[in-house]
Amino acid sequence: MAKLLMWFLGVFFVLTKLVDSYEFEEFFYNKTEGAFLESVYGASAAAPPPLMIGLTIIHGAAARGAVCLDGTLPGYHIHRGYGSGANSWLIQLEGGGWCNSVRSCVYRKKTRRGSSNYMEKQIPFVGILSNRAEENPDFYNWNRVKVRYCDGASFTGDSEDKAAGLQYRGKRIYQAAMEELMSKGMRYAKQALLSGCSAGGLASIMHCDDFSNLLPHTKVKCLSDAGLFMDANDVSGGHAIRDFFGGVVKTQSLQNTLPRTCTNHLDATSCFFPQNLIGNIRTPLFLLNTAYDSWQLQESLAPHTADPHGLWHDCTLNNERCSPSQIQFLQGFRIHMLNTVKRFAASRQNGLFINSCFAHCQSERQDTWFSDNSPTINNKVCLRASLLFVMLKFYICTSV
């Protein structure tokens, strides 16, 4: 009996370690998406249901070899613009973590993050994608598109692993999606915004100039929401996020596809960090981020590998439970972020809004994008309006 108990405990220990590993590699199930769905459906029992948009498969992607990790065709969701927004386009690149090893990429093949077979047939358009003027007054009648994410490397890879049956074709997926949208009228756009959240926010930085080059006669801007992943030490003094990104770069051979303006003088892993990319982007770029990004706290600064005894567990779930020393560490992270973007912020063509919310992804959620309790300054809604500073009307805040 004692031997059986010891065997059970050993198996439990191994499984626990595997789960901890996958929490880092496959971050999107229980954290980001759970909160997102709660904000969409659980905000108010009286709230009208959100606009649901069907999935469109990019059949022309096959000729390009633009496929998901498992070889299935990629897709997107589109809601057509009208009226004053008929010739304006908003493209949102979906986020959803990364895979940093063959094992974790194989795992993603059986999820919507690696195969269109598992993608939802319909998704809600809320936040910056909402079709309601009262929820999204500036973009509600634009052509609004969400490009699905199924490559595991922020739409940057272009290689394969035949032995594992993996296609790392994120760059081709991006190109195939843009080609299809151009054929559906985006080529005639008067203004266009490339956006994205989290891994999609990083992708919007990576592809910002590509997007602008695609539309040479269009007013083009880019928005990165929660995409400012910092190359920072974790709570143990280690480099959890750098090690993780290093695995992403190595697995998908991204040294061949990352921006040459960066890889010409820095190693490839450094060039997966946006802080080393934003200074070379020619297209006007807006950074929307929180200085206390909840994903970076949970998965970059205090992952289980850096906090094996769980001393940061309560703090990562609720910043009100952080000790004074933990708050001091987070303040140091905030200062590091602000110092990193100083030069970027000095450019008159760029913009940024870095607040102190304990959140991750603010433009996709209605409760943080535009609602009664959206972030405000002097009774003015500044999250949405600060974006307008760089995108549309060049002012900081509008009256509530």
Find the catalytic residue in 360, 363, 367, 386: 360
372 catalytic? Reply is no
pLDDT in tens, 118-131: 999 999 999 999 99
pLDDT band at 356 (very low <50, low <70, confident <90, very high): confident
293 catalytic? Reply is yes
pLDDT band at 48 (very low <50, low <70, confident <90, very high): confident
pLDDT of the residue at 33: 43
Question: Average pLDDT of 269-286?
Answer: 97
pLDDT in tens, 186-244: 999 999 999 999 999 999 999 999 999 999 999 999 999 999 999 999 999 999 999 99
Q: Considering just the CA atoms, what is the radius of gyration of the chain in Å?
A: 21
Three-state DSSP class for residue 247 = helix
What pTM did the predictor assign?
0.87
CA-to-CA distance for 398 and 400, rounded, in angstroms?
Answer: 6
pLDDT band at 153 (very low <50, low <70, confident <90, very high): very high
Sequence-distant (6+) residues with CB within 8 A of 105 are 69, 99, 114, 152, 161, 164, 166, 168, 251
Q: Which CATH architecture has domain 50-394?
A: 3-Layer(aba) Sandwich (3.40)
Question: Domain residues of the chain, as ranges?
Answer: 50-394
Instruction: State yes or no: pLDDT of 272 exceeds 60.
Output: yes
pLDDT of the residue at 279: 95
Contact between 170 and 96 under an 8 Å Cβ cutoff? The reply is no
Find the catalytic residue in 70, 158, 225, 293: 293
Find the catalytic residue in 104, 116, 130, 198: 198
Tokens of 72: 């299935």
pLDDT band at 258 (very low <50, low <70, confident <90, very high): very high
**From its phi and psi, is residue 241 left (phi > 0), alpha (psi between -120 and 50) or beta?**
alpha
Q: How many CB atoms lie within 10 A of CB 313?
A: 13
| Residue listed under structure tokens 């052509």 | 143
360 catalytic? Reply is yes
Closest by Cα among 199, 22, 28 to 118 = 28
pLDDT of the residue at 193: 97
CA-to-CA distance for 280 and 353, rounded, in angstroms?
Answer: 20
Question: Average pLDDT of 126-148?
Answer: 96
Q: How many residues does the chain have?
A: 400
